[in-house]
Amino acid sequence: MNTLLKIELKKLLPYRSFWAAVIAYVLMMGGLFASLYRFKLNINSVDIGINFYYFPDIWHNIAYITSWFNVLLYFFVILIVTNEYQFRTVRQNVIDGLSRWQSLTGKILLLLLFSIGTTVLVGLVTLACGFFLADTDSNPFSLEKIEYLGLYFIQTLGISSFALLVANLLRKQGMSIIAFLGYILIGEPVLRYRLLPESWGEYLPMQALGQLIPNPLPAYFNLGTLPEFQPTLLLASLMYTALFFAASGWVLQSRDL
């Protein structure tokens, strides 16, 4: 396992686009959370202050907000995989002695590393924002609702596994990105709202993964209460993640490299 991960990192770390994506992710995240400090809305000429950084809800709030930044990670997964097809790296790995399953395992380990790294970063950002920006008497060391950090990890890994599958299926960078976004923004909504019964639509892959961290923001505008995650969606998300990895393995085994 360690050898497979080392092979992937050896190919990745000299890659300038990787470091550019990491820097962009960190800077965008820092800029966003600085801008949300003492966020105010003007309603009927009255400024209403909203604090997203008090414990324990901060775990939920930051996990939800940062999940939108992960599109950079998903695009990068597609870029890594499609580049390996373009430059025949996958074929060369097999020629050098790796099996196709070992090649896939290396990618899965890399996605696990990405997901763990982003989760640790989100946890550190959450603690920093809660400790320095809360402006309340909330306990900055409260672990209540920290489960949203785990849900963030599962969501990140799950959608990354879908990006991996799309890239393995299409093998072309532009087509893969279009297909990835097309399914999420058009394909699945059509299935959910037009073709499938309402109760089924809730359990489509991206819907299940996306709703692992429900949107907490309407509650701040008196449009509802803070939602809780649904255990059934957690189970569905884990099943979809395993299915996407297995499907990627089937694609690698059944097609010419």
What percent of the chain shows pLDDT beyond 70? 88
DSSP letter assigned to residue 221 = G
At 182 the pLDDT is 96
* Token pair belonging to 171: 């093998």
Out of 185-189, 204-208, 217-221, pick the least confident: 217-221
* Token pair belonging to 71: 């599109």
Out of 16-30, 54-68, 114-128, pick the least confident: 16-30
DSSP letter assigned to residue 28 = H
CB-side neighbour CA atoms (13 Å) of 52:
26
Ramachandran quadrant class, 222 (left: phi over 0; alpha: psi -120 to 50; beta: rest)? left
- What single letter denotes the amino acid at residue 253? Q
At 223 the pLDDT is 67
At 161 the pLDDT is 97
For 215, phi then psi, to 5°, come to: -65, 115
Which residue carries 């995650």 as its tokens?
Answer: 229
What is the average pLDDT across 178-193?
Answer: 93
Asked whether residue 83 carries a pLDDT value surpassing 80, the answer given is: yes
Please enumerate in sequence order all residues whose Cβ is within 8 A of that of 206, keeping only pairs 6 or more positions apart, or say none: 159, 162, 183, 184, 188
Please enumerate in sequence order all residues whose Cβ is within 8 A of that of 62, keeping only pairs 6 or more positions apart, or say none: 33, 52, 122, 125, 126, 129
Asked whether residue 30 carries a pLDDT value surpassing 70, the answer given is: yes
> Rounded to an integer, what distance in angstroms lies between the CA atom of residue 114 and that of residue 162?
14
121-165 tens-digit pLDDT? 999 888 888 777 776 565 666 778 899 999 999 999 999 999 999
Longest dimension (CA), the chain: 69
Structure-model confidence comparison of residues 163 and 101, the more confident one:
163
Three-class DSSP category at 35 = helix
At 19 the pLDDT is 85
CB 107 within 8 A of CB 19: no
Structure-model confidence comparison of residues 106 and 228, the more confident one:
106
Asked whether residue 238 carries a pLDDT value surpassing 90, the answer given is: yes
pTM metric for this prediction: 0.90
At 140 the pLDDT is 62
The confidence band for 41, taking pLDDT boundaries of 50, 70 and 90, is low
At 82 the pLDDT is 93
The CB density around residue 219, as the number of other CB atoms within 10 Å, is 16
Structure-model confidence comparison of residues 39 and 92, the more confident one:
92
Helix axes 16-35, 71-86, angle to 10 degrees: 170
Q: What is the mean pLDDT of the chain?
A: 84
At 48 the pLDDT is 55
